[in-house]
Each structure stands twice: as C-alpha cells, then as structure tokens.
Amino acid sequence: MAFDNLLASLGGFGSYQRRIFAVVCLLEMVIPLHILCQVFYTLPVDHWCRDSTLESCPHHSNMTLLECQESIKNLTIPFDEKTSTYSQCSKYITQESENRSKWTTVGCDEGWHYGPHSPSSIQTDFDLVCERSSLTQVAQSIFFAGIMVSSLFCVLYGDRFGRLRVLFVGIGGTSLMGLILAVTPNYATYVVVRFIVAAFLWMTMSSCYIHLTENISSSYRVFVTCGVGVPFGIGFSILAGLAYFVPNWRTLQIVISLPMLAFFIFWPIFMESPRWLLSRGRWTDAEKILKKIARLNKKKTELSKESLDNLEESLRNETQTSSLRQLFRLPRLRLRTMTLMFNWFVQSFVYYGLSLSTSSFGVNVYVAFCIAGAVEVPAAMLSFVLVKYAGRRHALILTMVPAGIACISTGFLPLGPIMTTAAMIGKFAISSSFATVYLYTVELYSTNLRSAGLGSGSLGSRIGGICAPLVLLLDGLWQPLPQIVFGATSVIAGLLVVLLPETKGQPMPQTTEEAEALGRHNHSSTKRASRRRGTLKNFNSDVTFEKLVSFSI
C-alpha cells in the first residue's frame, strides 16, 4: 500500500488525475457507440419473395414502380386474412385454380424484395431474413467473443508493453477497423471485421480504466468506479440520436469510428503509469513522472532512494504471480469465485439482453433506446449511494433482485409504454448493480489474487455477453421466454450474494490467508466488540486512562 500512500501525498485526485478522468469520460461516451450500434443495423425490415418472371411488369407499363410491386405481390405472395399481412418467406409457384388455398408455395429461392421505406441495414445488404434472420444475433455474439478473446490477452499486453501504448493502439485499431467495417461486402467479412473491432475496443476499455485507477489514490476509486457509468449512459443515448439522423448503417459506422481518431490529440496529456514503470524496474522513468505529477498537482514531495526501494518491495508483493487455479484451492475462496463468476455472467447477460431488445418493446425504437441509456446516469449515482451507505453486498441484492422481477414482468405485459417502463426499471437496476460488482470483486481478493479474481469475473461477463443475443432468439418458441430467462437468473444471482462477506469498512486483504478468512470472524468480532462496549458503559465516571489501557490489553 506504499504506492497508494505516495499517490495520496502527490494529490490523490489532483489536476493531473482530473485531466485523465475527463479524457476517460469522453472515451466512455464513444465506447457504447461501437458495442450497441448493431441494434440500429438490424431494425425490422419489410420484405417479401422475389419473382423474376414478373419483375419487368410487361402488362402494367402505366404503373409506378411501387404500384407494380404491389401488383406482383398480390399475384405471387400468400396473404393472411387474420393478420392482414403478406407472407415474408414464401411465394406461389402454381396458379392452377381460382382458389388460392390450393396454390403451391415455396420458399424465397430467388431472393427478396425490400419495402421502399425499409431502413438501410445489414439485413437488406446481406439478405439476413427468414431462415437467415438468426445470423444477426450470431453476429452480435461473435462481437462479444472478440471482447472475450481480447480480455484473455490484454493483461499480458498491458503488463509487457505498458498501459499507454496499449491504450492508443486500441484507439487507433478501433477507429481503423471500424472504417473498414463500413465497406464490408458480405456477412462473413462483416462478422470477422467486427470481431477485430471488439478486440481493439476491449484493449481501449481496459487500458484506459487501468491507467486511470493506477494513477488515483484508493480513497477516490469508489467515485471513479461509479462515475464512469455516467458518460457511458450519455453515449448510449447519443447513439439513438445519431442513428435517427443517419439512417444508413454504413454512414453511421463511419460517423462513430472517426471520433476515436480525435483522441490522439490527448496523447501529450497522458504519461505512462508510474506503478507499471516501477513494476518493470524502470525507477528513473517512474521518478520523473511522479515528480511531474507532483508539479502538476502543485505538491512538494521529495522522492528519496529509500522511498523508491520501499515502493519496489511493496509492488513486488502486489504483483506476485497468480492463476485461476489458486482461486479454487481453498474452500471459501472457491465458493466466492464461483458465486462472483456467476454474478458477473448475469450482470452482462441481463444488461445486454435488455439493451439489445429495445426494438421489441412496441414503442419507437429510438425513444426506447435513448431512455435505456439515460437511466444509466441516475443508476450510477444510486450505485455510489448504496455502496457508500448500505454496503457492497446489500447494494447488489437491492438492485439485482428488483432487476430480475422487472424483467420477468416485462414478458407478460402488453407491448407499448407499460412494457417499456418495466424494462427500463430492470435496465436501471441492473446498470446500478453492474457499477458495484467491480469494486466488490476487488475488495474480496488478496493483493496477489486480485488480478486473477478480476479475470475470472471478466471471463464470466464475456460469456454472458455472448449468450445474451442468442437467448433473444428464444422468442420464437415463446414470446416471454427471453425476459423470463433474464429475470430468473438475475433474481438467483442476487440471492446468492448472501454467500459473500461484506467488505464495507473492512481493510483489503493482503494475503491469501486473510482473503480466505474474510467474513469468517465478523460475527464473533462483533459480539466481542459489543461485550466490550457494554463493559465500558459499566465503568465509573472517574475511570482512569491506565484502567482503559489495561482493559484494552
């Protein structure tokens, strides 16, 4: 903890840290544009089977193109009287009698026509309709798989090459591959490029967050952890406005990719993480940067050789090698790790399940999506309040259980404002819990296991993101089923939090033994403290200092 003490003496959240925080907040506004843009690339489109034998309209030369299409549709496409809609995935091939019910139908073997008012989307460009419609959700799952693969290697990249270099490689890669994505000619190329975009995007996300937290003293980390959720929600809402005014998906992809390049102007503001430099033995470079930070924060702190030696010893203890295997070696840590992995899985599973399904709530998709992003701002504020006053465990229970109940109710409510309101309550609650689980995980593991603990949670989260789009396909079996699955898992995960110890007001464990014992003695310690307070109350008013000392010993 020597480095945290040094950061505090240099200004734990001074001018330099505030600059970094401001840039990270701007990045957090751009990141959701790339994660969630596919919601607007796959909006519902009006489509019907193509029939090349009638496309030229030889007998209706006086008709407009739209009138001609309607005429062909009447002749070739089955019409459902009950729903007053044309079939989107079948057409007639024989017309041997006047009774249409006896006409033979086949699938769309010649492709599809799309309505004149259908939005530009990957569905219309790559024919992702009818039996190919599920490929849209598969593409989103592949995107999250890219994040998962990147998360497995990003720690190695960051530890080897430094936080700053990886951060700007991620920014440049996200922008460049995002621009390439806008000109992809087919579905296979689209999913491959978007997978790479996800990998670079996670490099950006993780590196900027690590760089920020490593340069801020521990007393401000709760504020930072909860605070970055605010710009993320703002960016979420901004995407709805951009998609409304830029309906062409390829143009929109260019619009959201170009801002990333602008972040290179902030390169001079950033300095490499001194914690990373010290961990690599680069003492001279670290000392220079620490002195610059002190100067920017207007703090006068002398850095002696002895203080740097103490930092070296402290960081050597903090960066002991760890692996996922160690998390399962001891019984309490094993239970804790499995509970947290499931919790991280559900956080991402429900969050993206609700975020990606806004087009199915029966209201204007742009309005619903904008509201879904806006609720994250008060959700981040609620997380800060709950963590600070109710504790980490209660904060998760009080948000995940209501989120699950709201999701389940959504499945049985009529389409429209009522369903949207219930879904937004669930989105609000799960967003608040998502902001809490990172801090809680950090506090539940010892220094040497903290990276592995976060890695296991992140792995669970990535799997949840991959599964969420696929679960949305279950509405083909039963319309409420996806929301029931999201809700049930959220309630279960929230209730399982009772298996975890509370960390509010507790020192962070330094060793594996302390982490294993965390929560084990809380009850007995509380009873001892209670007995001690009761004994003190029975002392005479003229109790002496010596008596207090002897009692405490």
- 355 has pLDDT over 60: yes
**Could you read off the pLDDT of 191-215 as tens digits, one per residue?**
999 999 999 998 898 888 878 877 8
> Which pLDDT value is given to residue 185?
95
Residue 166 neighbours by CB under 8 Å, 6+ apart: 154, 157, 158, 203, 207
Angle between helices 249-262 and 229-245 (to 10 degrees): 140
442: three-class secondary structure by DSSP: helix
Residue 552 pLDDT grade (very low, low, confident, very high; cuts 50, 70, 90): very low
85 phi/psi in degrees, rounded to 5: -135, 150
Residues 430-443 have a mean pLDDT of 86
> Which pLDDT value is given to residue 141?
94
Mean of pLDDT over the chain: 83
Query: CA-to-CA distance for 319 and 321, rounded, in angstroms?
Result: 6
Question: For residues 352 and 536, is the Cβ–Cβ distance under 8 A?
Answer: no
Residue 143 pLDDT grade (very low, low, confident, very high; cuts 50, 70, 90): very high
**Could you read off the pLDDT of 438-483 as tens digits, one per residue?**
888 878 888 667 767 877 888 899 899 999 999 999 988 898 999 9
- Quote the tokens at residue 514: 């302390």
Question: For residues 38 and 139, is the Cβ–Cβ distance under 8 A?
Answer: yes
Residue 398 vs residues 87, 187, 429, 434, 436: alpha-carbon distances, Å: 46, 42, 8, 12, 11
Residue 31 pLDDT grade (very low, low, confident, very high; cuts 50, 70, 90): very high
Residue 324 amino acid letter: L
- 57 has pLDDT over 80: no
- 539 has pLDDT over 60: no
- 188 has pLDDT over 90: yes
- Compute how many other C-beta atoms are within 10 angstroms of the C-beta atom of residue 507: 10
Identify which has the larger pLDDT, 98 or 274. 274
Burial zone of 6 (CB within 10 Å; 0-12 exposed, 13-18 middle, 19+ buried): buried
Residue 238 pLDDT grade (very low, low, confident, very high; cuts 50, 70, 90): very high
Query: CA-to-CA distance for 280 and 289, rounded, in angstroms?
Result: 14
Residues 45-54 have a mean pLDDT of 83
Angle, alpha carbons 202-205-208 (nearest 5°): 140
- Quote the tokens at residue 208: 């900027």
Identify which has the larger pLDDT, 68 or 1. 68
Identify which has the larger pLDDT, 55 or 467. 467
> Which pLDDT value is given to residue 434?
84
| Closest by Cα among 20, 18, 25, 27 to 261 | 27
> Which pLDDT value is given to residue 524?
43
- 307 has pLDDT over 80: no
- 59 has pLDDT over 70: no
Residue 531 pLDDT grade (very low, low, confident, very high; cuts 50, 70, 90): very low
Burial zone of 212 (CB within 10 Å; 0-12 exposed, 13-18 middle, 19+ buried): buried
Residue 507 amino acid letter: P
Give, as one character, the DSSP assignment of residue 297.
T
Burial zone of 358 (CB within 10 Å; 0-12 exposed, 13-18 middle, 19+ buried): buried
85: three-class secondary structure by DSSP: strand
